Amino acid sequence: MRWENMYNRGYFVPNELFFVRNNNPTPRIAPANYKLAIWGDGVSNPRSFTYDELLSLPSISVIKAIECAGNGRSFYQTAYGREASGTQWKLGGIGVAEWTGVPLGEVLSRAGVKSTAKDVMLISVDEKKVQRPIPIEKALAEDTLLVYAMNGDILPPDHGFPIRALVPGWVGIANIKWVGSIQISTKPLFSLYNTEKYVLIGEDYPVAEELQQAGVLGEITTEQKPKSAFELPWEGEIASGKRLLRGRSWSAQGKISGTLTILPIKKG
């Protein structure tokens, strides 16, 4: 997502400008062939839903941001002298949209989610079966959704058609695209994407012994941190003088309420 293209556009990022970050090629799924399986020892009534059945369930629309876990990753090198592996994002891996879908809790309740359920694993149907767990409390939050529409349109293929997860405030990898099955477990769940990948590794990020035994190599990324950016081209220059600059700030912890005044630097 190019910040200069957002100048004076309002709050929403149009679908065609929304950033795309996929671990695998986009699968093409016919709605008539789609089924979502709900299973695991954390439910008493394992079952599946067709695409039409999901569309018939109670739905809500929410305005939320999705942000890649590595957004701003390139700054590790400039700020700390240590390069973080992966796509060297500056700050373009963020977008805000209106998402419409079925609350995940609604679907889990129809499968008889147990009071002893602990973790929920969202599993993609793409070629690598990307999957990452979230705690049951987050899964049952009222704004955690199984999404089928984005900004009032049918969910685009690159953004997870026919069904993707929306896990507000959490790193992008938690918002699994092309969800094909959901495991509900009474025990903690682990995958490649919360043990070896999407974890912060190093002496600054200690790992509890029980997590080490599960193969977790570092601190598991969950909630995003507050960030901000100007709606300007990257490394653009602004002539001296009085100027109006537009930008955006975002946070998973709550609404942005503060303001910032930038004063010119006086030389000499």
In a domain, 263, yes or no: no
Number of Cβ atoms within 10 Å of the Cβ of 70 = 21
Q: How does strand 153-154 pair with strand 145-150?
A: antiparallel
In a domain, 265, yes or no: no
More confident residue, 140 or 82: 140
CATH of the domain at 115: 3.90.420.10
In a domain, 129, yes or no: yes
Backbone angles phi, psi at 66, to 5 degrees: -120, 135
In a domain, 125, yes or no: yes
In a domain, 249, yes or no: no
Please, is 110 exposed, middle or buried when counting C-beta atoms within 10 Å of its C-beta (0-12, 13-18, 19+)?
A: middle
**Number of folded domains that form the chain:** 1
Q: Tokens for 197?
A: 């990948």
Contact criterion met (CB below 8 Å) for 110 and 173 = no
pLDDT digits (tens, 9 = 90+) for 33-65: 999 999 999 999 999 999 999 999 999 999 999
The per-residue pLDDT for 259 is 65
What is the number of alpha carbons within 13 Å of residue 40 lying toward its C-beta? 27
In a domain, 230, yes or no: no
Domain span at 7: 3-223
In a domain, 13, yes or no: yes
Position 31 pLDDT exceeds 60: yes
In a domain, 247, yes or no: no
pLDDT digits (tens, 9 = 90+) for 149-170: 999 999 999 999 999 999 999 9
Q: pTM of the prediction?
A: 0.91
The per-residue pLDDT for 80 is 85
